[in-house]
Structure 1
Protein backbone atom coordinates (compact mmCIF):
# COMPACT_ATOMS: atom_id res chain seq x y z
CA UNK A 1 0.00 0.00 0.00
CA UNK A 2 1.39 3.42 -0.97
CA UNK A 3 1.88 6.13 1.64
CA UNK A 4 -1.00 8.09 0.11
CA UNK A 5 -3.46 5.20 0.47
CA UNK A 6 -2.06 4.26 3.88
CA UNK A 7 -2.54 7.72 5.33
CA UNK A 8 -6.20 7.81 4.24
CA UNK A 9 -6.71 4.32 5.69
CA UNK A 10 -5.20 5.44 9.00
CA UNK A 11 -7.37 8.58 8.94
CA UNK A 12 -10.56 6.54 8.56
CA UNK A 13 -9.71 4.00 11.27
CA UNK A 14 -8.60 6.71 13.68
CA UNK A 15 -11.86 8.60 13.16
CA UNK A 16 -13.86 5.49 14.08
CA UNK A 17 -11.73 4.73 17.14
CA UNK A 18 -11.43 8.26 18.51
CA UNK A 19 -15.01 9.11 17.60
CA UNK A 20 -16.08 6.29 19.91
CA UNK A 21 -13.75 7.38 22.73
CA UNK A 22 -16.06 10.09 24.05
CA UNK A 23 -18.97 7.75 24.73
CA UNK A 24 -16.54 5.30 26.39
CA UNK A 25 -15.29 8.09 28.66
CA UNK A 26 -18.90 8.94 29.51
CA UNK A 27 -19.67 5.33 30.39
CA UNK A 28 -16.46 4.98 32.39
CA UNK A 29 -17.40 8.01 34.50
CA UNK A 30 -20.48 6.16 35.77
CA UNK A 31 -18.30 4.10 38.12
CA UNK A 32 -15.23 6.32 38.49
CA UNK A 33 -14.35 9.94 39.18
CA UNK A 34 -12.45 11.92 36.49
CA UNK A 35 -9.16 11.57 38.38
CA UNK A 36 -9.69 7.84 38.81
CA UNK A 37 -10.66 7.30 35.17
CA UNK A 38 -7.71 9.25 33.80
CA UNK A 39 -5.21 7.56 36.12
CA UNK A 40 -6.47 4.02 35.51
CA UNK A 41 -6.56 4.67 31.78
CA UNK A 42 -2.92 5.79 31.75
CA UNK A 43 -1.71 2.88 33.89
CA UNK A 44 -3.51 0.24 31.83
CA UNK A 45 -2.32 1.79 28.57
CA UNK A 46 1.26 1.90 29.86
CA UNK A 47 1.10 -1.78 30.81
CA UNK A 48 -0.27 -2.74 27.38
CA UNK A 49 2.34 -0.70 25.52
CA UNK A 50 5.24 -2.05 27.58
CA UNK A 51 4.15 -5.62 26.79
CA UNK A 52 4.06 -5.02 23.03
CA UNK A 53 6.41 -2.08 22.54
CA UNK A 54 9.36 -2.38 24.93
CA UNK A 55 11.92 -3.22 22.17
CA UNK A 56 10.90 -0.08 20.28
CA UNK A 57 12.45 2.10 23.00
CA UNK A 58 15.80 1.40 21.33
CA UNK A 59 14.79 3.84 18.59
CA UNK A 60 14.74 6.73 21.09
CA UNK A 61 18.11 8.45 21.34
CA UNK A 62 19.16 10.16 24.56
CA UNK A 63 18.61 13.70 23.17
CA UNK A 64 15.13 12.68 21.96
CA UNK A 65 13.91 11.58 25.39
CA UNK A 66 13.13 15.14 26.50
CA UNK A 67 10.81 15.52 23.52
CA UNK A 68 9.22 12.12 24.15
CA UNK A 69 8.54 13.14 27.76
CA UNK A 70 7.08 16.48 26.69
CA UNK A 71 4.98 14.72 24.04
CA UNK A 72 3.67 12.33 26.70
CA UNK A 73 2.56 15.16 28.96
CA UNK A 74 0.92 17.41 26.36
CA UNK A 75 -0.36 14.63 24.10
CA UNK A 76 -1.65 12.16 26.69
CA UNK A 77 -1.47 12.99 30.40
CA UNK A 78 -3.03 16.46 30.45
CA UNK A 79 -5.72 15.88 27.76
CA UNK A 80 -6.88 12.61 29.35
CA UNK A 81 -7.69 14.35 32.62
CA UNK A 82 -9.16 17.39 30.88
CA UNK A 83 -11.61 15.33 28.82
CA UNK A 84 -12.62 13.26 31.85
CA UNK A 85 -13.45 16.38 33.86
CA UNK A 86 -15.17 18.06 30.90
CA UNK A 87 -17.56 15.17 30.30
CA UNK A 88 -18.87 15.39 33.86
CA UNK A 89 -20.73 18.52 32.69
CA UNK A 90 -21.04 18.46 28.89
CA UNK A 91 -22.34 15.80 26.50
CA UNK A 92 -19.91 13.40 24.85
CA UNK A 93 -21.13 14.54 21.41
CA UNK A 94 -20.26 18.17 22.20
CA UNK A 95 -16.79 17.11 23.35
CA UNK A 96 -16.26 15.25 20.08
CA UNK A 97 -17.21 18.33 18.04
CA UNK A 98 -14.99 20.69 20.04
CA UNK A 99 -12.10 18.31 19.45
CA UNK A 100 -12.27 19.46 15.81
CA UNK A 101 -10.42 22.61 16.85
CA UNK A 102 -7.14 20.65 16.85
CA UNK A 103 -6.17 21.38 13.20
CA UNK A 104 -6.87 25.07 13.72
CA UNK A 105 -4.60 25.33 16.74
CA UNK A 106 -1.99 23.22 14.94
CA UNK A 107 -1.52 26.10 12.51
CA UNK A 108 -0.75 28.58 15.29
CA UNK A 109 1.44 26.25 17.31
CA UNK A 110 3.42 25.36 14.18
CA UNK A 111 3.98 29.05 13.46
CA UNK A 112 4.88 30.32 16.92
CA UNK A 113 6.86 27.30 18.13
CA UNK A 114 8.44 25.92 14.96
CA UNK A 115 8.32 28.76 12.42
CA UNK A 116 5.87 27.04 10.04
CA UNK A 117 4.19 29.84 8.10
CA UNK A 118 0.47 30.11 7.37
CA UNK A 119 -1.48 32.22 4.90
CA UNK A 120 -4.09 34.91 5.41
CA UNK A 121 -6.75 32.56 4.07
CA UNK A 122 -5.76 29.90 6.57
CA UNK A 123 -6.18 32.50 9.29
CA UNK A 124 -9.72 33.07 8.03
CA UNK A 125 -10.38 29.35 8.36
CA UNK A 126 -9.10 29.41 11.93
CA UNK A 127 -11.31 32.38 12.83
CA UNK A 128 -14.37 30.70 11.28
CA UNK A 129 -13.67 27.56 13.32
CA UNK A 130 -13.21 29.49 16.55
CA UNK A 131 -16.46 31.35 15.85
CA UNK A 132 -18.20 28.03 15.42
CA UNK A 133 -16.78 26.77 18.71
CA UNK A 134 -18.04 29.89 20.49
CA UNK A 135 -21.50 29.42 18.97
CA UNK A 136 -21.54 25.74 19.91
CA UNK A 137 -20.66 26.52 23.53
CA UNK A 138 -23.14 29.41 23.86
CA UNK A 139 -26.01 27.50 22.24
CA UNK A 140 -25.19 24.45 24.32
CA UNK A 141 -25.35 26.48 27.52
CA UNK A 142 -28.79 27.79 26.52
CA UNK A 143 -30.11 24.38 25.47
CA UNK A 144 -28.74 22.60 28.57
CA UNK A 145 -29.09 24.98 31.53
CA UNK A 146 -28.39 22.11 33.92
CA UNK A 147 -24.89 21.67 32.51
CA UNK A 148 -21.91 23.87 33.30
CA UNK A 149 -20.57 24.82 29.87
CA UNK A 150 -17.50 26.48 31.34
CA UNK A 151 -16.20 22.92 31.34
CA UNK A 152 -16.17 23.09 27.53
CA UNK A 153 -13.08 25.26 27.98
CA UNK A 154 -11.26 22.17 29.26
CA UNK A 155 -11.81 20.50 25.88
CA UNK A 156 -10.51 23.60 24.09
CA UNK A 157 -7.39 23.50 26.28
CA UNK A 158 -6.97 19.80 25.46
CA UNK A 159 -7.08 20.57 21.73
CA UNK A 160 -4.23 23.06 22.19
CA UNK A 161 -2.25 20.26 23.85
CA UNK A 162 -2.95 17.90 20.94
CA UNK A 163 -1.85 20.59 18.47
CA UNK A 164 1.43 21.00 20.35
CA UNK A 165 1.96 17.24 20.34
CA UNK A 166 1.44 16.89 16.57
CA UNK A 167 4.08 19.54 15.90
CA UNK A 168 6.53 18.04 18.42
CA UNK A 169 6.28 14.61 16.78
CA UNK A 170 6.77 16.01 13.29
CA UNK A 171 9.54 18.47 14.11
CA UNK A 172 11.50 16.63 16.81
CA UNK A 173 10.69 12.91 16.73
CA UNK A 174 10.64 11.98 13.04
CA UNK A 175 13.51 9.50 13.57
CA UNK A 176 11.73 7.65 16.39
CA UNK A 177 9.39 4.77 15.55
CA UNK A 178 5.65 5.37 16.19
CA UNK A 179 5.60 2.49 18.68
CA UNK A 180 8.67 3.91 20.41
CA UNK A 181 7.01 7.31 20.80
CA UNK A 182 3.80 5.80 22.19
CA UNK A 183 5.60 3.50 24.63
CA UNK A 184 8.00 6.23 25.73
CA UNK A 185 5.09 8.65 26.19
CA UNK A 186 3.35 6.44 28.71
CA UNK A 187 6.48 5.41 30.55
CA UNK A 188 7.10 9.15 31.01
CA UNK A 189 3.67 9.76 32.55
CA UNK A 190 2.92 6.55 34.46
CA UNK A 191 4.47 7.76 37.75
CA UNK A 192 2.23 10.85 38.12
CA UNK A 193 -0.74 8.68 37.11
CA UNK A 194 0.21 6.10 39.77
CA UNK A 195 0.35 8.86 42.38
CA UNK A 196 -3.10 10.06 41.31
CA UNK A 197 -4.50 6.53 41.63
CA UNK A 198 -3.75 6.61 45.35
CA UNK A 199 -4.71 10.28 45.80
CA UNK A 200 -8.09 9.73 44.10
CA UNK A 201 -8.89 6.58 46.10
CA UNK A 202 -9.36 4.42 43.02
CA UNK A 203 -8.32 1.29 44.94
CA UNK A 204 -10.62 1.78 47.93
CA UNK A 205 -13.18 -0.84 48.84
CA UNK A 206 -16.17 1.47 48.30
CA UNK A 207 -15.07 2.00 44.69
CA UNK A 208 -14.58 -1.71 43.99
CA UNK A 209 -17.89 -2.60 45.68
CA UNK A 210 -19.83 -0.22 43.43
CA UNK A 211 -22.10 -2.27 41.10
CA UNK A 212 -20.97 -0.04 38.24
CA UNK A 213 -17.29 -0.83 38.90
CA UNK A 214 -16.88 -3.77 36.50
CA UNK A 215 -18.94 -2.34 33.60
CA UNK A 216 -17.10 0.99 33.85
CA UNK A 217 -13.76 -0.79 34.06
CA UNK A 218 -14.67 -2.71 30.91
CA UNK A 219 -15.35 0.55 29.06
CA UNK A 220 -11.99 1.91 30.26
CA UNK A 221 -10.23 -1.25 29.02
CA UNK A 222 -11.75 -0.76 25.57
CA UNK A 223 -10.77 2.90 25.71
CA UNK A 224 -7.19 2.00 26.67
CA UNK A 225 -6.62 -0.68 24.07
CA UNK A 226 -8.24 0.96 21.06
CA UNK A 227 -8.51 4.66 21.91
CA UNK A 228 -5.06 4.92 23.47
CA UNK A 229 -2.68 2.10 22.47
CA UNK A 230 -3.77 1.22 18.92
CA UNK A 231 -4.78 4.76 17.97
CA UNK A 232 -1.67 6.35 19.50
CA UNK A 233 0.67 4.21 17.37
CA UNK A 234 -1.43 4.75 14.25
CA UNK A 235 -1.50 8.52 14.80
CA UNK A 236 2.26 8.70 15.27
CA UNK A 237 2.70 6.75 12.05
CA UNK A 238 0.25 9.04 10.27
CA UNK A 239 2.23 12.12 11.34
CA UNK A 240 5.42 10.51 10.00
CA UNK A 241 4.00 9.78 6.55
CA UNK A 242 1.98 13.00 6.17
CA UNK A 243 1.95 16.46 7.75
CA UNK A 244 0.83 17.66 11.19
CA UNK A 245 -2.20 19.43 9.70
CA UNK A 246 -3.27 16.42 7.60
CA UNK A 247 -2.81 14.05 10.53
CA UNK A 248 -5.08 16.05 12.81
CA UNK A 249 -7.67 16.28 10.03
CA UNK A 250 -9.03 13.08 11.54
CA UNK A 251 -11.20 15.56 13.43
CA UNK A 252 -13.30 15.98 10.26
CA UNK A 253 -14.89 12.60 10.88
CA UNK A 254 -14.63 12.26 14.67
CA UNK A 255 -17.70 14.50 15.31
CA UNK A 256 -19.85 12.40 12.98
CA UNK A 257 -19.01 9.25 14.93
CA UNK A 258 -19.21 11.03 18.30
CA UNK A 259 -22.58 12.64 17.58
CA UNK A 260 -23.91 9.30 16.35
CA UNK A 261 -22.99 7.57 19.61
CA UNK A 262 -24.38 10.51 21.60
CA UNK A 263 -27.75 10.38 19.84
CA UNK A 264 -27.93 6.63 20.43
CA UNK A 265 -27.30 7.31 24.12
CA UNK A 266 -30.11 9.85 24.37
CA UNK A 267 -28.16 13.08 23.92
CA UNK A 268 -29.65 15.90 21.86
CA UNK A 269 -28.09 18.48 19.53
CA UNK A 270 -29.97 21.76 19.03
CA UNK A 271 -30.11 23.63 15.73
CA UNK A 272 -27.78 26.31 17.09
CA UNK A 273 -25.28 23.69 18.23
CA UNK A 274 -25.47 22.06 14.81
CA UNK A 275 -24.68 25.39 13.16
CA UNK A 276 -21.70 25.87 15.45
CA UNK A 277 -20.44 22.38 14.68
CA UNK A 278 -20.83 23.07 10.97
CA UNK A 279 -18.78 26.28 11.24
CA UNK A 280 -15.98 24.41 13.00
CA UNK A 281 -15.81 21.84 10.21
CA UNK A 282 -15.93 24.58 7.55
CA UNK A 283 -12.99 26.25 9.26
CA UNK A 284 -11.03 23.00 9.34
CA UNK A 285 -11.87 22.40 5.68
CA UNK A 286 -10.65 25.85 4.68
CA UNK A 287 -7.37 25.41 6.53
CA UNK A 288 -6.63 22.07 4.89
CA UNK A 289 -7.97 22.95 1.44
CA UNK A 290 -5.85 26.08 1.21
CA UNK A 291 -2.79 24.31 2.53
CA UNK A 292 -3.08 21.58 -0.08
CA UNK A 293 -3.30 24.19 -2.82
Structure 2
Protein backbone atom coordinates (compact mmCIF):
# COMPACT_ATOMS: atom_id res chain seq x y z
CA UNK A 1 0.00 0.00 0.00
CA UNK A 2 2.89 2.33 0.79
CA UNK A 3 4.28 1.70 -2.71
CA UNK A 4 1.00 2.84 -4.27
CA UNK A 5 0.92 5.87 -2.01
CA UNK A 6 4.50 6.80 -2.94
CA UNK A 7 3.73 6.45 -6.64
CA UNK A 8 0.60 8.58 -6.27
CA UNK A 9 2.60 11.26 -4.44
CA UNK A 10 5.28 11.18 -7.13
CA UNK A 11 2.75 11.74 -9.90
CA UNK A 12 1.02 14.43 -7.85
CA UNK A 13 4.30 16.35 -7.63
CA UNK A 14 4.84 15.94 -11.36
CA UNK A 15 1.32 17.25 -11.95
CA UNK A 16 1.97 20.30 -9.75
CA UNK A 17 5.24 21.00 -11.56
CA UNK A 18 3.56 20.67 -14.96
CA UNK A 19 0.83 23.09 -13.85
CA UNK A 20 3.35 25.62 -12.54
CA UNK A 21 5.60 25.39 -15.60
CA UNK A 22 2.75 25.27 -18.08
CA UNK A 23 1.14 28.33 -16.51
CA UNK A 24 4.29 30.40 -17.13
CA UNK A 25 3.04 31.51 -20.53
CA UNK A 26 -0.35 32.54 -19.12
CA UNK A 27 1.27 34.72 -16.42
CA UNK A 28 3.57 36.35 -18.97
CA UNK A 29 0.62 37.18 -21.19
CA UNK A 30 -1.35 38.76 -18.34
CA UNK A 31 1.67 40.64 -16.95
CA UNK A 32 2.32 42.19 -20.38
CA UNK A 33 -1.00 44.04 -20.09
CA UNK A 34 0.61 46.34 -17.51
CA UNK A 35 4.38 46.00 -17.97
CA UNK A 36 6.77 46.17 -20.90
CA UNK A 37 8.63 42.98 -21.93
CA UNK A 38 11.83 44.23 -20.26
CA UNK A 39 9.93 45.03 -17.05
CA UNK A 40 8.28 41.59 -17.00
CA UNK A 41 11.67 39.93 -17.46
CA UNK A 42 13.29 42.04 -14.74
CA UNK A 43 10.49 41.47 -12.21
CA UNK A 44 10.54 37.75 -12.99
CA UNK A 45 14.28 37.48 -12.36
CA UNK A 46 14.23 39.60 -9.19
CA UNK A 47 11.42 37.64 -7.56
CA UNK A 48 12.83 34.26 -8.64
CA UNK A 49 16.28 35.13 -7.29
CA UNK A 50 14.83 36.29 -3.95
CA UNK A 51 12.83 33.06 -3.70
CA UNK A 52 15.79 30.83 -4.48
CA UNK A 53 18.14 32.77 -2.21
CA UNK A 54 15.67 32.33 0.67
CA UNK A 55 15.53 28.59 -0.03
CA UNK A 56 19.31 28.42 -0.37
CA UNK A 57 20.14 30.22 2.85
CA UNK A 58 17.23 28.55 4.63
CA UNK A 59 18.81 25.14 3.99
CA UNK A 60 22.20 26.30 5.21
CA UNK A 61 23.83 26.52 1.79
CA UNK A 62 26.10 29.30 0.55
CA UNK A 63 26.53 30.78 -2.90
CA UNK A 64 29.53 29.61 -4.95
CA UNK A 65 32.78 31.52 -4.58
CA UNK A 66 35.45 32.36 -7.12
CA UNK A 67 35.61 34.44 -10.28
CA UNK A 68 35.94 31.40 -12.54
CA UNK A 69 32.72 29.68 -11.48
CA UNK A 70 30.80 32.97 -11.45
CA UNK A 71 31.97 33.57 -15.00
CA UNK A 72 30.52 30.22 -16.04
CA UNK A 73 27.35 30.90 -14.08
CA UNK A 74 26.95 34.24 -15.88
CA UNK A 75 27.17 32.55 -19.29
CA UNK A 76 24.55 30.00 -18.22
CA UNK A 77 22.38 32.79 -16.79
CA UNK A 78 22.44 34.63 -20.11
CA UNK A 79 21.39 31.65 -22.25
CA UNK A 80 19.12 29.90 -19.74
CA UNK A 81 17.43 32.87 -18.09
CA UNK A 82 18.02 36.45 -19.21
CA UNK A 83 17.83 35.91 -22.98
CA UNK A 84 14.97 33.36 -23.18
CA UNK A 85 12.93 35.16 -20.50
CA UNK A 86 13.22 38.35 -22.54
CA UNK A 87 12.41 36.62 -25.82
CA UNK A 88 9.31 35.00 -24.33
CA UNK A 89 8.07 38.37 -23.12
CA UNK A 90 8.70 39.95 -26.53
CA UNK A 91 7.16 37.02 -28.39
CA UNK A 92 3.97 36.88 -26.37
CA UNK A 93 3.12 40.42 -27.35
CA UNK A 94 1.80 38.91 -30.59
CA UNK A 95 1.62 35.16 -29.90
CA UNK A 96 -0.97 33.44 -27.74
CA UNK A 97 0.17 31.82 -24.50
CA UNK A 98 -0.92 28.41 -25.80
CA UNK A 99 1.17 28.60 -28.95
CA UNK A 100 4.10 29.91 -26.88
CA UNK A 101 3.92 26.78 -24.74
CA UNK A 102 3.84 24.54 -27.81
CA UNK A 103 6.86 26.24 -29.39
CA UNK A 104 8.74 26.02 -26.09
CA UNK A 105 8.46 22.23 -26.41
CA UNK A 106 10.98 22.36 -29.29
CA UNK A 107 13.87 22.81 -26.84
CA UNK A 108 14.83 19.09 -26.90
CA UNK A 109 14.94 19.23 -30.71
CA UNK A 110 17.44 22.09 -30.56
CA UNK A 111 19.42 20.08 -28.00
CA UNK A 112 19.86 17.32 -30.57
CA UNK A 113 20.94 19.84 -33.22
CA UNK A 114 23.50 21.31 -30.82
CA UNK A 115 24.69 17.82 -29.93
CA UNK A 116 25.35 17.17 -33.61
CA UNK A 117 27.19 20.50 -33.93
CA UNK A 118 29.49 19.96 -30.93
CA UNK A 119 30.06 16.28 -31.54
CA UNK A 120 28.19 14.69 -28.64
CA UNK A 121 25.68 13.20 -31.12
CA UNK A 122 28.19 11.38 -33.32
CA UNK A 123 25.89 8.58 -34.43
CA UNK A 124 22.30 9.72 -34.65
CA UNK A 125 20.08 6.64 -34.96
CA UNK A 126 17.36 6.68 -37.66
CA UNK A 127 14.57 6.90 -35.07
CA UNK A 128 16.06 10.00 -33.44
CA UNK A 129 16.86 11.59 -36.80
CA UNK A 130 13.29 10.95 -37.92
CA UNK A 131 12.03 12.51 -34.68
CA UNK A 132 14.18 15.58 -35.26
CA UNK A 133 12.83 16.10 -38.76
CA UNK A 134 9.27 15.35 -37.66
CA UNK A 135 9.50 17.80 -34.76
CA UNK A 136 10.62 20.67 -36.94
CA UNK A 137 7.94 19.73 -39.48
CA UNK A 138 5.44 20.29 -36.68
CA UNK A 139 6.89 23.75 -36.12
CA UNK A 140 6.40 24.52 -39.82
CA UNK A 141 2.77 23.44 -39.51
CA UNK A 142 2.32 25.85 -36.60
CA UNK A 143 3.99 28.71 -38.48
CA UNK A 144 1.88 28.00 -41.59
CA UNK A 145 4.01 30.07 -44.00
CA UNK A 146 1.56 29.24 -46.77
CA UNK A 147 -1.18 31.18 -44.96
CA UNK A 148 -0.23 34.84 -45.12
CA UNK A 149 -3.26 35.92 -43.08
CA UNK A 150 -2.77 33.33 -40.33
CA UNK A 151 0.94 33.32 -39.70
CA UNK A 152 2.27 33.52 -36.16
CA UNK A 153 5.03 35.84 -37.37
CA UNK A 154 8.00 37.41 -35.65
CA UNK A 155 6.70 36.79 -32.15
CA UNK A 156 6.84 33.06 -32.77
CA UNK A 157 10.39 33.40 -34.09
CA UNK A 158 11.35 35.07 -30.81
CA UNK A 159 9.87 32.17 -28.84
CA UNK A 160 11.61 29.59 -31.02
CA UNK A 161 14.79 31.58 -30.38
CA UNK A 162 14.11 31.30 -26.63
CA UNK A 163 13.74 27.52 -26.93
CA UNK A 164 17.02 27.32 -28.85
CA UNK A 165 18.69 29.54 -26.23
CA UNK A 166 17.62 27.11 -23.49
CA UNK A 167 19.23 24.28 -25.43
CA UNK A 168 22.50 26.21 -25.86
CA UNK A 169 22.56 27.19 -22.21
CA UNK A 170 21.94 23.76 -20.81
CA UNK A 171 24.43 22.13 -23.13
CA UNK A 172 26.93 24.60 -21.67
CA UNK A 173 25.78 23.86 -18.11
CA UNK A 174 26.11 20.14 -18.67
CA UNK A 175 29.75 20.60 -19.60
CA UNK A 176 30.85 23.26 -17.12
CA UNK A 177 28.53 23.41 -14.08
CA UNK A 178 26.35 20.36 -13.47
CA UNK A 179 27.93 17.64 -11.36
CA UNK A 180 30.94 19.70 -10.31
CA UNK A 181 30.25 19.47 -6.59
CA UNK A 182 28.16 22.63 -6.19
CA UNK A 183 24.74 21.98 -4.56
CA UNK A 184 21.94 22.51 -7.07
CA UNK A 185 20.08 25.00 -4.89
CA UNK A 186 23.21 27.15 -4.58
CA UNK A 187 23.89 26.85 -8.30
CA UNK A 188 20.35 27.77 -9.36
CA UNK A 189 20.23 30.66 -6.87
CA UNK A 190 23.49 32.09 -8.18
CA UNK A 191 22.38 31.62 -11.78
CA UNK A 192 19.11 33.53 -11.42
CA UNK A 193 20.89 36.21 -9.39
CA UNK A 194 23.35 36.65 -12.26
CA UNK A 195 20.43 36.77 -14.70
CA UNK A 196 18.92 39.59 -12.65
CA UNK A 197 22.14 41.56 -12.95
CA UNK A 198 22.22 40.98 -16.70
CA UNK A 199 18.60 42.09 -17.04
CA UNK A 200 19.39 45.36 -15.25
CA UNK A 201 21.56 46.25 -18.25
CA UNK A 202 18.48 46.08 -20.52
CA UNK A 203 16.32 48.47 -18.46
CA UNK A 204 17.17 51.51 -20.65
CA UNK A 205 15.66 49.61 -23.62
CA UNK A 206 12.05 49.76 -22.47
CA UNK A 207 12.38 48.97 -18.80
CA UNK A 208 11.98 52.59 -17.73
CA UNK A 209 8.71 53.19 -19.64
CA UNK A 210 5.56 54.12 -17.66
CA UNK A 211 3.84 51.26 -15.87
CA UNK A 212 0.09 50.71 -16.34
CA UNK A 213 -0.26 47.97 -13.76
CA UNK A 214 -3.53 46.82 -12.27
CA UNK A 215 -4.11 44.23 -9.57
CA UNK A 216 -4.29 41.36 -12.08
CA UNK A 217 -1.05 42.28 -13.83
CA UNK A 218 0.82 42.70 -10.54
CA UNK A 219 -0.47 39.35 -9.27
CA UNK A 220 0.53 37.72 -12.57
CA UNK A 221 4.05 39.12 -12.33
CA UNK A 222 4.42 37.98 -8.72
CA UNK A 223 3.16 34.45 -9.46
CA UNK A 224 5.40 34.30 -12.53
CA UNK A 225 8.52 35.21 -10.56
CA UNK A 226 7.96 33.33 -7.30
CA UNK A 227 6.06 30.20 -8.32
CA UNK A 228 6.40 29.70 -12.08
CA UNK A 229 10.15 30.45 -12.00
CA UNK A 230 11.65 30.25 -8.51
CA UNK A 231 9.68 27.36 -7.02
CA UNK A 232 9.75 25.33 -10.25
CA UNK A 233 13.55 25.52 -10.33
CA UNK A 234 13.72 23.94 -6.89
CA UNK A 235 10.90 21.45 -7.43
CA UNK A 236 12.43 20.18 -10.67
CA UNK A 237 15.72 19.29 -9.04
CA UNK A 238 13.92 17.60 -6.13
CA UNK A 239 11.95 15.41 -8.52
CA UNK A 240 15.13 14.48 -10.38
CA UNK A 241 16.77 13.53 -7.08
CA UNK A 242 13.80 11.63 -5.63
CA UNK A 243 12.08 9.99 -8.63
CA UNK A 244 14.79 10.07 -11.25
CA UNK A 245 15.26 11.79 -14.58
CA UNK A 246 12.66 9.76 -16.48
CA UNK A 247 9.75 10.93 -14.33
CA UNK A 248 11.00 14.50 -14.38
CA UNK A 249 11.25 14.42 -18.17
CA UNK A 250 7.57 13.47 -18.34
CA UNK A 251 6.74 17.07 -17.42
CA UNK A 252 8.03 18.23 -20.80
CA UNK A 253 5.18 16.45 -22.57
CA UNK A 254 2.56 18.00 -20.28
CA UNK A 255 3.70 21.63 -20.57
CA UNK A 256 2.19 22.47 -23.98
CA UNK A 257 -1.06 20.74 -23.04
CA UNK A 258 -1.31 22.79 -19.86
CA UNK A 259 -0.42 26.05 -21.61
CA UNK A 260 -2.98 25.46 -24.36
CA UNK A 261 -5.76 24.56 -21.92
CA UNK A 262 -5.07 27.54 -19.66
CA UNK A 263 -4.90 29.90 -22.63
CA UNK A 264 -8.21 28.65 -24.00
CA UNK A 265 -10.06 28.55 -20.66
CA UNK A 266 -8.66 31.62 -18.88
CA UNK A 267 -7.84 33.96 -21.79
CA UNK A 268 -10.33 32.60 -24.33
CA UNK A 269 -7.54 32.13 -26.87
CA UNK A 270 -8.27 30.54 -30.22
CA UNK A 271 -6.70 27.17 -30.80
CA UNK A 272 -7.05 25.99 -34.38
CA UNK A 273 -6.93 22.43 -35.63
CA UNK A 274 -3.72 23.33 -37.48
CA UNK A 275 -1.95 24.36 -34.27
CA UNK A 276 -3.31 21.26 -32.49
CA UNK A 277 -1.94 19.07 -35.27
CA UNK A 278 1.39 20.88 -35.15
CA UNK A 279 1.58 20.38 -31.38
CA UNK A 280 1.00 16.65 -31.69
CA UNK A 281 3.64 16.34 -34.42
CA UNK A 282 6.16 18.29 -32.30
CA UNK A 283 5.54 16.11 -29.23
CA UNK A 284 5.82 12.89 -31.23
CA UNK A 285 9.06 14.15 -32.72
CA UNK A 286 10.41 15.05 -29.26
CA UNK A 287 9.46 11.60 -27.95
CA UNK A 288 11.33 9.96 -30.83
CA UNK A 289 14.48 12.04 -30.24
CA UNK A 290 14.47 11.04 -26.58
CA UNK A 291 14.42 7.33 -27.33
CA UNK A 292 17.69 5.84 -26.20
CA UNK A 293 19.24 2.55 -27.16
CA UNK A 294 18.95 0.13 -24.27
CA UNK A 295 22.28 -0.50 -22.60
CA UNK A 296 23.29 -2.26 -19.39
CA UNK A 297 22.85 -0.07 -16.33
CA UNK A 298 25.89 1.80 -15.13
CA UNK A 299 26.85 3.53 -11.93
CA UNK A 300 26.45 6.99 -13.48
CA UNK A 301 24.23 9.36 -11.62
CA UNK A 302 20.92 10.14 -13.39
CA UNK A 303 20.89 13.63 -12.01
CA UNK A 304 23.85 14.84 -13.99
CA UNK A 305 22.81 13.24 -17.27
CA UNK A 306 19.32 14.63 -17.22
CA UNK A 307 19.35 17.82 -15.24
CA UNK A 308 20.12 19.94 -18.27
CA UNK A 309 17.49 18.71 -20.73
CA UNK A 310 14.77 18.64 -18.12
CA UNK A 311 15.45 22.10 -16.78
CA UNK A 312 15.48 23.48 -20.29
CA UNK A 313 11.70 23.26 -20.50
CA UNK A 314 10.83 26.05 -18.30
Which TM-score applies when normalising by structure 2?
0.79
Paired residue total: 284
Residues 60 and 176, structure 1, Cα contact 8 Å, conserved in 2:
no
Structure 1 position 285, deviation (Å): 1.6
Shift of 1:88: 0.4
Displacement, 1:277?
A: 1.0
- For 1:109-124, what aligned pairs fall within 5 Å after superposition? 109-113=114-118, 115-117=120-122, 118-124=124-130
Residue 156 of structure 2 aligns with which residue? 152
2:175 is matched with: 171
Question: Cα deviation per residue 1:200-232 (whole Å; 9 max; x = unaligned)?
Answer: 344x6x42xx3x333212111101111111112
For the pair 1:190 / 2:196, whether they are aligned, the reply is yes
Cα distance 1:248–1:152, how it changes in 2: closer, same or farther (>3 A)? Answer: farther
Q: Is the alpha carbon distance of 1:238 and 1:167 closer, same or farther for their aligned partners in structure 2, counting shifts above 3 Å?
A: farther
In structure 1, list runs of 5 or more residues that go unmatched: none
- The answer as to 2:139 corresponding to 1:136 is no
Q: Which residue of 1 aligns with 2:257?
A: 256
Q: Which has the higher helix share?
A: 1
1:137 and 1:166, CA in 2 relative to 1: closer, same or farther beyond 3 A?
same
Are positions 1:228 and 2:239 aligned together? no
Match for 2:54 among 44, 51, 54?
51
Pairwise CA distance, 1:257: 0.5
CA contact (8 A) 2:45 2:193 kept: no
Among 272, 283, 286, which residue is 2:285 paired with?
283
Please tell me whether the aligned partners of residues 26 and 87 of structure 1 are also in contact (alpha carbons under 8 angstroms): yes
Q: Distance in 1 between matches of 2:14 and 2:133?
A: 24
Larger displacement relative to structure 2 (97-106 or 189-198): 189-198
Report what 1:64 is aligned to.
69
Contact 1:59–1:177, Cα closer than 8 Å, also in 2:
no
* Separation of aligned partners in 2, 1:250 and 1:9: 11
Q: Is the 8 A contact 2:63 2:187 kept in 1?
A: no
Partner in structure 2 of residue 25 of structure 1: 28
Deviation string for 1:72-109 (max 9, x for gaps)?
11111101000000000111100001111111122222
* CA shift in 2, pair 1:249/1:74, >3 Å: farther
Instruction: Please report how far the alpha carbon of residue 40 of structure 1 lies from its aligned counterpart in structure 2 after TM superposition.
Output: 1.6
Conserved 8 A contact 2:43-2:225? no
- When the two chains are superposed, the root-mean-square deviation of aligned CA atoms in Å is 3.1
Q: State whether residues 141 and 149 of structure 1, in contact with CA within 8 Å, keep that contact through their aligned partners in structure 2.
A: no
- How big is the shift at 1:110? 3.2
